[in-house]
């Protein structure tokens, strides 16, 4: 079975994948998609300002197609669900943007990188991508839940509906993040 664990950075993909592997047993491998693509040079460039690699989608598609021909019991951890050619279960982990903002700042990330990733969470960018590529996707809010509880929900196929924009505080955060991103875009013109 191929289980896709996706979400913006800081939502718990690594922890959930590790605990899921422990529950499912030794037959499963955790596949860190971003690391795999970087190791195989499936990128066109490194964006210094955003501190991220720009993926070469054609090369990535070929590499991933080859990988999944020979690997059947895989937990795929990724920010990019649309790059995964197939999955039996698709889980998008979500986290309250107010909490996520503090987590990403604690990691020492640049202001722009934090702003873009938290904005992506607010707008549900990863969920929208998962929905575009898979019929069987499921969202789980990891905020204030134990990782063990999240893994149990994954195993049971329990899904949640997530709408951060109904919270006025998140709306205010979105406006402030938009200003941060606009400042960077205006300065690069």
77 close to 17: Cβ distance less than 8 angstroms? yes
pLDDT tens digits, one per residue of 97-113: 999 999 999 999 999 99
**Measured distance CA(18)–CA(103) in Å, rounded:** 20
- What pLDDT score was predicted for residue 184? 85
d(CA 155, CA 168): 33
| CB contact at 8 A, 178 and 44 | no
- The residue among 40, 74, 77, 65 whose CA lies nearest residue 55 is 40
3-class DSSP assignment, residue 49: coil
- Please report the pLDDT score of residue 50 as a whole number: 80
pLDDT, tens digit (0-9, with 9 covering 90-100), for 31-60? 999 999 999 999 999 988 888 899 999 999
Q: Which letter, b or e, does each residue of 76-87 get, where b requires 16 or more Cβ atoms within 10 Å of its Cβ? A: bbbbbbebbeeb
Q: How far apart are CA 39 and CA 67, in angstroms?
A: 14
- Domains of the chain and any CATH numbers: 2-95+125-163 (3.40.50.300)
Q: pTM here? A: 0.92
């Amino acid at each position: 079975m191929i289980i896709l664990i996706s979400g913006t950075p800081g939502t718990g993909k690594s922890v959930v994948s590790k605990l899921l592997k422990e529950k499912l047993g030794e037959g499963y491998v955790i596949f860190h998609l971003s690391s795999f693509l970087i190791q195989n040079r499936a990128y066109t460039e490194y964006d210094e300002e955003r501190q991220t690699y720009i993926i070469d989608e054609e090369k990535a598609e070929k590499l991933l197609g080859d990988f999944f021909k020979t690997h059947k019991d895989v937990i795929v951890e990724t920010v990019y669900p649309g790059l995964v050619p197939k999955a039996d279960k698709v889980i998008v982990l979500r986290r309250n943007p107010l909490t996520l903002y503090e987590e990403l700042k604690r990691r020492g990330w640049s202001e722009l990188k934090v702003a873009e990733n938290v904005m992506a969470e607010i707008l549900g960018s990863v969920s929208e991508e998962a929905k575009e590529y898979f019929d069987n996707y499921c969202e789980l809010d990891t905020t204030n839940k134990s990782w063990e509880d999240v893994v149990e929900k994954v195993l049971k196929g329990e899904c949640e509906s997530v709408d951060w924009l109904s919270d006025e505080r998140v709306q205010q955060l979105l406006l402030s993040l938009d200003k941060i991103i606009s400042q960077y875009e205006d300065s690069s013109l």
